[in-house]
Copies of this chain bind each other. A is one copy, B any other.
Amino acid sequence: MLWSGWGDPGKAVTLPPAVLTLLEQALGVQPADGTPVPIAQVRLPESELDPAVATELAMFVGPPNLHTHHDARVKHAAGRSTADLLRLRSGDAPDAPDAVVLPGTHNEVVGVLGACARRHVAVVPFAGGTSVVGGLAARREGFGGLVTLDVRRLTGLVSLDTESLTATFRAGTLAVEAEELLGAKGFTLGHFPQSYEYARLGGFAATRSAGQASAGYGRFDEMVLALTVATPEGTLELGRGPASAAGPDLRQLVLGSEGAFGVITELTLRVHPAPQKSVYQGWRFGSFAEGATALRELAQRGPLPTVLRLSDEAETGVDAVLHGREAGGCLVIAGYDGVPGGTGVDALAAAGADALAAAGGACLDDAVGETWAEGRFDAPYLRDALLGAGAIAETCETATNWSNLVALKESVTAALVSSLSAQDTPPLVMCHVSHVYPTGASLYFTVVAKAADDPVAQWAVAKTAATDAIVAGGGTITHHHGVGAEHRPWLEREIGPLGVEVLRAVKARLDPAGILNPGVLVP
């Protein structure tokens, strides 16, 4: 992962002249040289870790698995939000850990957490580092140092039950690696979020990730059958069998706990037969509301595609510019996986096409769907290019009931436009629906504007306005990005003051010293 941006530096995007012109004309973005500082020039906080503690941690994991050098600290200093990247690019890494610890077993994780609790050292669990909501921005104050616990050595498929369709993985397994291991045996998880190429399974569970194929395969939290969690107070092993009435479902406290209650070290997941073939179709609807109605009908009555997305007019227009297509209307992408022994993919796609046509859609050229599928993990590269060109680009998201979807989209868009316009940087706000449920859907906003002098502060103001609008409009503060440090001020409005007290009580029991990701999740 590029330390100052996204992914593979070899895949960096150069903005085409048409886009640069559009940025200048529509948003007033002036050509800029936004090259990041060299990594060696990044300013790190002075380490507060007692060398004796470092020695103790090295005993648990072995000296080669404790890193304190500059580059390791920079590479674990931040997630991948736009604010994170803007700070890194300018050479700031205020949240960098003093050391990176790489345990290789569950027991090593337990040992590290116990030692850190005794020594009052803050611990940031790290499972890919792709958070876009400050999930790694732990508070240092009051601790005797801060270390990152990277799970990347806890990898591999532990077992596969082909009759029950379950697989047990170590939690540091890369999503890509998990798909390779399963694919070799004819199975898939079906979990492909934007972070797919860099995220690790435990992170998906800790943040309630949702992938692009959630219509077909579900959210990640729905895939988790069992979990093993290391906490400073010992180990939790949760989940027996396919369903249970044995009291509250404690797995659901670990899912979404964002490293604040413990470190997930192993997880058992539902798997599916790998598709033999996938088909992606593009459709055009007259308006966002018409497209939303079509998606709702598929989500409630079927047939439900594996992937189902709707872009609003603005996003459809930009997509048309990027791909040299005719603009107009609202783009729907419907993807279908053909499963061995199930209905063939062509029959599935035909049934979906009938439903989309009946709902008023016009089928587009085959290339439209295929282009989406080919570029499905590329948006973060485009952001890096925009940041380098003097723009800011960031996203925010929510979910709500179908009956509230269009109204919430409008109020959040208005809040973003109003907030950024008031800063003399009127934005382009695009929106899409990428996750559908019988009762509602997600809304995902992408915002591009001219960067102000302090772009971090500029976006913080806009994000506050958007989140206030989400709460006021009845949406959830996050559908799949998680809480992190960024949404934490709004969590009480989501779950109420007594809900916050419940979280605090659970944290106090599992992490009495409060060392785990302090300042993230729990208000």
Contact = CB atoms under 8 A, between A and B. Distances in A.
Given A270-B439, A403-B164, A255 B249 contact: yes
A478 interface: yes
A166 B499 CA distance: 23
A244 B505 contact: no
Interface in A213-263: 219, 221, 225, 231, 233-238, 240-258, 261
Interface in A277-333: 296, 300-302
Interface stretch (A88-96, A119-127, A393-401): A393-401
Contacts of A237: 496
A449 interface: no
B248 A161 contact: no
Contacts of A505: 505-506, 508-509
A301 to B, nearest CB: 6
Given A163-B296, A250-B495, A483 B245 contact: yes
Contact of A483 (B210, B246, B506, B509): B246
Given A236-B496, A248-B257, A241 B478 contact: no
A479 B243 contact: yes
Interface in A329-345: 339, 341-342
Interface stretch (A13-21, A67-75, A144-152, A469-477): A469-477
Of A246, A300, A404, the most chain B CB neighbours within 10 A belong to A246
Nearest to A340: B301
Contacts of A161: 401, 403
Contacts of A435: 243
A498 B254 CA distance: 13
Q: Which of A210, A240, A241 has the largest number of chain B CB atoms within 10 A?
A: A241
A168 to B, nearest CB: 12
Contacts of A504: 509
Contacts of A509: 501-502, 504-505
B399 A241 contact: yes
Nearest to A208: B245
Interface residues of A, number: 89
B244 A255 contact: no
A74 B402 CA distance: 47
Contacts of A432: none
A495 B402 CA distance: 37
B256 A245 contact: yes
Nearest to A240: B476
A246 B255 CA distance: 10
B510 A506 contact: no
B249 A257 contact: no
Contact of A482 (B243, B245, B254, B501): B245
A210 B246 CA distance: 13
A503 interface: yes
A288 to B, nearest CB: 16
Given A249-B256, A482-B245, A495-B238, A233 B501 contact: yes
B439 A236 contact: no
Nearest to A214: B243
B402 A163 contact: yes
A165 B402 CA distance: 9
B476 A399 contact: no
Contacts of A191: none
A233 B506 CA distance: 16
A353 B238 CA distance: 37
Contacts of A302: 342
A475 B483 CA distance: 34
A437 interface: yes
A497 to B, nearest CB: 8
A263 to B, nearest CB: 14
A441 interface: yes
A502 B441 contact: no
Given A246-B477, A248-B255, 11 more contacts: A163-B402, A164-B404, A164-B439, A235-B496, A236-B499, A238-B495, A243-B479, A247-B256, A248-B256, A250-B495, A502-B510
29 contacts: A163-B401, A164-B401, A164-B439, A165-B439, A166-B439, A219-B243, A234-B498, A235-B498, A241-B475, A242-B438, A243-B437, A243-B440, A244-B399, A245-B478, A246-B256, A246-B476, A246-B482, A246-B487, A246-B494, A247-B483, A247-B495, A248-B252, A248-B255, A248-B506, A251-B252, A252-B253, A302-B342, A501-B509, A502-B510
